[in-house]
Structure 1
Amino acid sequence: MARIAMIGAGMGAMAAAARLAVAGHRVAVFERGATYGGAVQRFARDGFAFDTGPGLLHLPAVYRDLFLKTGREPLEQCVELSQVAPASRHLFADGTAVSLPNASRAGVVEALDGALGAGSGERWSALINRARDAWDATRRPLLEEPLRPDWQVLGRDPYPAVRRRGLFGRGKGPTTATLAEVAHRELADPRLIALLESHAPAYGFDPRSAPASAAVLPYMEQTFGSWYARGGMRALAEALYERCLARKVEFGFGAEVTGIVEKDGRAAGVELADGRVSDAEFVVAGIAPARLASILPGGLPWGADDVRPSARPEEAPGRLTVALALRGARPGDTAHRTVVHTTDRAAELAAVFGTGAVPRTICASPTVTVLRPDDPASRPDDDHEAVTLSAPVAPGALPGGAALEAAADRLTEIAEAAVPGLRERVLWREVLPPKEGELVPGPALAGQGGRFLLPANHTRIPGLYAVGGWSHPGGGPAHAGMSGAIVAGLIVNGDDWRGST
């Protein structure tokens, strides 16, 4: 039995802690904050409750496997999960609306044909077919296995090339490009383009620079479905925390780690702000790279030939969240998630990600995601409704005060297209800007020379591992859960472990 010190209590760290504890190790988690869950948090007031991080779960199999292997109670006995229906409703700039069914390939084709015109569904389906090929080629190395030593091979984009059409395209051979270029080349219809491109900022990517393989993001949602946990995504974090406690994982909150102890060339424990030292045979860091570098002698624990945090081509955007407490019941035919698309996509991308010398700022017409869960746990009674609005924003673009309130006003105004009479129903609102230093990258993607990969879970320092959204395989609840599984596998089986077969 080894002693393991875990820095941070995010979803990836807790996933690793539960698995390691079941394997017989003694795990102590040190969290400088007052609670667990990382980005998976909940804001509550006056009987209303709102998710302030991820609002839906994709790839629930990750947590089904985790709960199956760490205890007798399966996930569904600990968390009430349900597929949302429809998966999403989209309101486009020209006024067109379409509702996409959950995890139904044929249903999506039919819905797109009916709303956008004959042939729209087939064009979308053909792109999703190519995204499936990319998913099949990269699922194991980018989700289920440790980052391979020859990670450079993942720099090639697995999205199948499409031969250029037309007289001047003949003889030029197949080509792949960015997600935005693929969207324009293969979809043509501006509404389909908006549908595809909108998945990128939702995961922290700029479609103008993200590789074509980012098409796996809508493929993943469409294939494996969108799931909601009763009580919000925070309920999943609570269930994972309880599973850790049941497996005798020790938690210390308000326990800031200020240093990683090294002895004989390997990690040997952690130093705490109150002067204590906790010895350990292994240290697992579930924190951002900048913080890890500040507490580790010698800085970042990855070598010059490794994937390093600075390899990402742009800083991930944050999300502005507006929690709205509404008077009046939620209509029975309401979609759980509605996406109100921007009227000026180019301006939105320039504002959120920047364009050349143009500074990143607040977009005047952002794409707004409206979440309206049919969940009694989110409201004081059935005569009220809790609605969450969110939009991507550039880091540092919202200094607070009048600018922040004006941005929240704009989101509310835009969201009225999805919730008629919204502003007249508002009892109160809470504006939640992205917190500095809490911007988490999206999931790892192949292509672009490896610029969208994240650092390996194992490091150049023996006994030191990285877990969670800032390391392989990237951010989001499902990928963080897989990060925990990978780290546990490396510690239990050794650094030569290449994943489950």
Structure 2
Amino acid sequence: MARIAVIGAGMGAMAAAARLAVAGHRVVVYERGETYGGAVRRFERDGFSFDTGPGLLTLPAVYRDLFVKTGKQPLEECVDLVQVDPSSRHVFPDGTEVALPNASRAGVVQALEAALGAGVGDRWGDFLVRAREAWDRTRRPLLEEPLWTDWQVLAEREPYPAVPHKRLLRTRRAGTLAEIAAWELRDPRLTALLDSHALAYGLDPRDVPASAAVLPYMEHAFGTWYVRGGIRELARAVYERCVARRVEFVFGAEVTRIVEKDGWAAGLELADGTVTEADHVVAGVDPGRLRGLTKHALDEDGDVFPDASAPSPGRFTVLLALRGAREAEAAHRTVVHTPDRGAELNWVSGEGPGPVRPTVTVLRPDDPALRPDEEHESVVLTATARPKGDWAADGSSKPFVEMMVHEAGAAIPGLRERILWQETRTPGHNGDETGAFCGGMPAPSLAGGKGYFLRPSNSTRLPGLYRVGGWSHPGGGLPHAGMSGALVAGLIVEGPGFRGSQ
């Protein structure tokens, strides 16, 4: 039985902890905050409840596998997991809108054709077929296996297929999402639909590789899911599974140093001076913070993964407590697209002035657990914002909130008159809770792009030290966090020869 010290109680860290405990190891999780879940948090006030992190789940099979492998109770006995239908409603600047059914390519094509015009749905449907090819080519190396030592193969090879060009009588291969939109979709509304999947992770479609086509594909292929009571309930269930497997949690424990002995990660030092010994250390923290815990080089020379010192865009959230009942036909999720896509992308990337009118995602769960009674409604607005340390310093928080509420009015009738109170959470709030630099959010790992869109491997150059969670392979997002936990557990239990799930 090995002693495992885990830094952080995020979703990836807890997924690894539960699997390691089942394998017979003694696991202790050290969390500097007072609760578990990382970015998967909840805000409560006056009988209202809100998810302040992710509000929906894709690829629930990842957590189903976790619960199957760590106990007798399956996931569905621990949380109430339901499909969201329609998967999303989209409101475009020209006034057109469309509701997309859940996990149905044919249904999505039909809805787009009816709402946006002949040929539009077919172009999106054809795109999803090509996106599936990119998914099939990258699913295993990017999600189910440890990052290859020759990861340059993933960096150089663009998995999104080339497309025949009738005029040129040859094929051409898109290098970015923006080129897919320009060459294949050829409609500003489809472009906005495609871009929104990248923007939700802080990615710029003008720069992100074409392999990011897997992001909308995942949603269309595997569906969009909600956990009754909020996604925080998923974090609770994972935490309780850890406790049931005798994982020990120490909250309020700030780790200040990874102890090394004979060139091996051999324990942790805490802020109060306590030193704890371990045979392996698993770190579920921001890479910048991790680098401050050890002087040991963690990656090989020549690795080109994102610079931990460069802040990434974050999630700006507005929580709305509304008077009045939710309309029966209201969509769970509505995306209101910006009237100036270029200005938004420039601002988010730090290249243009702002703030500007953003793309706003409006979450309106039909869930009695989130509201005091049937005469009120709990709503969450989210938008991607440029990296910034202190939103209060220059007063830009208030006008950005006003813009978000204004845009959300296209999704909620009479919104301003219904607001009982509102709570603003800047990316800085997320940074305070998770330790992420400027509250940045990690994106999923993507092939192509010369390796810049990959995440560092779970193993490190310091033997005994492993990385888990969104800032390591296979990147950000709830499913990816769960998969990172499975990979780290496999590497510790089976050793460096572990090649992933079969």
Q: In the alignment, is the contact (CA less than 8 A) between 2:305 and 2:453 conserved in 1?
A: no
Matched, 1:69 2:62: no
- Cα pair distance change 1:111/1:120, threshold 3 Å: same
Q: Secondary structure at the match of 2:421?
A: strand
Q: In the alignment, is the contact (CA less than 8 A) between 2:320 and 2:378 conserved in 1?
A: yes
Q: Secondary structure at the match of 1:284?
A: strand
Q: Secondary structure at the match of 1:261?
A: strand
Of 358, 366, 391 in structure 2, the residue corresponding to residue 366 of structure 1 is 358
Q: In the alignment, is the contact (CA less than 8 A) between 1:40 and 1:233 conserved in 2?
A: yes
Kindly state the Cα deviation for residue 350 of structure 1 after the two structures are TM-superposed.
Answer: 0.5
Of 296, 318, 321 in structure 2, the residue corresponding to residue 322 of structure 1 is 318
Q: Give, in whole Å, the separation in 2 of the partners of 1:145 and 1:429.
A: 43
Kindly state the Cα deviation for residue 121 of structure 1 after the two structures are TM-superposed.
Answer: 1.2
Kindly state the Cα deviation for residue 309 of structure 1 after the two structures are TM-superposed.
Answer: 3.8
Q: In the alignment, is the contact (CA less than 8 A) between 1:329 and 1:385 conserved in 2?
A: yes
Q: What is the 5 A alignment of 1:106-255? A: 106-155=106-155, 156-166=157-167, 169-170=168-169, 173-255=171-253
Q: In the alignment, is the contact (CA less than 8 A) between 2:288 and 2:308 conserved in 1?
A: no
Q: Give, in whole Å, the separation in 1 of the partners of 2:200 and 2:24.
A: 38
Q: What is the 5 A alignment of 1:211-360? A: 211-298=209-296, 300-306=297-303, 308-310=305-307, 315-355=311-351, 358=352
What is the letter of the counterpart of residue 408 of structure 1? V
Kindly state the Cα deviation for residue 175 of structure 1 after the two structures are TM-superposed.
Answer: 2.3
**TM-score, normalised via structure 1 length:** 0.96
What is the letter of the counterpart of residue 400 of structure 1? A
Q: What is the 5 A alignment of 1:377-456? A: 377-396=369-388, 399-400=391-392, 402-435=395-428, 436=431, 437=437, 438-456=439-457
- Cα pair distance change 1:398/1:97, threshold 3 Å: farther
Q: Give, in whole Å, the separation in 2 of the partners of 1:362 and 1:65.
A: 43
Deviation string, structure 1 residues 410-443 (Cα, Å, up to 9, x no partner): 1111111100100000000001101242312110
Q: In the alignment, is the contact (CA less than 8 A) between 2:282 and 2:467 conserved in 1?
A: yes
Q: In the alignment, is the contact (CA less than 8 A) between 1:307 and 1:455 conserved in 2?
A: no
- Cα pair distance change 1:456/1:497, threshold 3 Å: same
- Cα pair distance change 1:397/1:369, threshold 3 Å: farther
Q: In the alignment, is the contact (CA less than 8 A) between 1:176 and 1:212 conserved in 2?
A: yes
Q: In the alignment, is the contact (CA less than 8 A) between 1:405 and 1:431 conserved in 2?
A: no
Q: Secondary structure at the match of 1:295?
A: coil
**TM-score, normalised via structure 2 length:** 0.96
Q: Secondary structure at the match of 2:139?
A: helix
**In the alignment, what sits opposite 2:475?**
474
Kindly state the Cα deviation for residue 235 of structure 1 after the two structures are TM-superposed.
Answer: 0.4
Q: Give, in whole Å, the separation in 2 of the partners of 1:445 and 1:308.
A: 11
Q: Secondary structure at the match of 1:198?
A: helix
Q: Give, in whole Å, the separation in 2 of the partners of 1:311 and 1:468.
A: 15
Q: In the alignment, is the contact (CA less than 8 A) between 2:305 and 2:451 conserved in 1?
A: no
**In the alignment, what sits opposite 2:49?**
49
Matched, 1:83 2:72: no
Q: Give, in whole Å, the separation in 1 of the partners of 2:391 and 2:190.
A: 34
Kindly state the Cα deviation for residue 164 of structure 1 after the two structures are TM-superposed.
Answer: 3.2
Q: Give, in whole Å, the separation in 2 of the partners of 1:405 and 1:306.
A: 40
TM-align CA RMSD? 1.4
Deviation string, structure 1 residues 234-286 (Cα, Å, up to 9, x no partner): 00000000000000000001101110111111110011111111100000000
Q: Give, in whole Å, the separation in 1 of the partners of 2:305 and 2:193.
A: 31
Kindly state the Cα deviation for residue 189 of structure 1 after the two structures are TM-superposed.
Answer: 1.1
Matched, 1:457 2:455: no
What is the letter of the counterpart of residue 66 of structure 2? L
Q: Give, in whole Å, the separation in 2 of the partners of 1:178 and 1:110.
A: 27
What is the letter of the counterpart of residue 301 of structure 1? L
Q: Give, in whole Å, the separation in 2 of the partners of 1:153 and 1:383.
A: 56
Q: Give, in whole Å, the separation in 1 of the partners of 2:57 and 2:116.
A: 28
Deviation string, structure 1 residues 210-240 (Cα, Å, up to 9, x no partner): 0001011000001100000011110000000
Q: Give, in whole Å, the separation in 2 of the partners of 1:281 and 1:138.
A: 33
Q: Give the percent of matched residue pairs that are identical in Structure 1 and Structure 2.
A: 64
Structure 2, unpaired ranges of 5+:
432-436
Q: Give, in whole Å, the separation in 1 of the partners of 2:176 and 2:496.
A: 34
What is the letter of the counterpart of residue 484 of structure 1? G
Structure 1, unpaired ranges of 5+:
none
Q: In the alignment, is the contact (CA less than 8 A) between 2:90 and 2:334 conserved in 1?
A: yes
Q: Give, in whole Å, the separation in 1 of the partners of 2:302 and 2:180.
A: 31
**In the alignment, what sits opposite 2:96?**
96
Q: Secondary structure at the match of 1:346?
A: helix
Q: Secondary structure at the match of 1:206?
A: coil
Q: In the alignment, is the contact (CA less than 8 A) between 2:41 and 2:53 conserved in 1?
A: yes
Q: Give, in whole Å, the separation in 2 of the partners of 1:394 and 1:367.
A: 13
Q: Give, in whole Å, the separation in 1 of the partners of 2:158 and 2:136.
A: 13
Kindly state the Cα deviation for residue 104 of structure 1 after the two structures are TM-superposed.
Answer: 0.8
Q: Secondary structure at the match of 1:287?
A: coil
What is the letter of the counterpart of residue 185 of structure 1? W
Q: Give, in whole Å, the separation in 1 of the partners of 2:47 and 2:303.
A: 48
Structure 1 stretches of 4+ with a deviation exceeding 4 A read: none
What is the letter of the counterpart of residue 425 of structure 1? R
Q: In the alignment, is the contact (CA less than 8 A) between 2:201 and 2:441 conserved in 1?
A: no
Kindly state the Cα deviation for residue 469 of structure 1 after the two structures are TM-superposed.
Answer: 0.4
Q: In the alignment, is the contact (CA less than 8 A) between 1:398 and 1:404 conserved in 2?
A: no
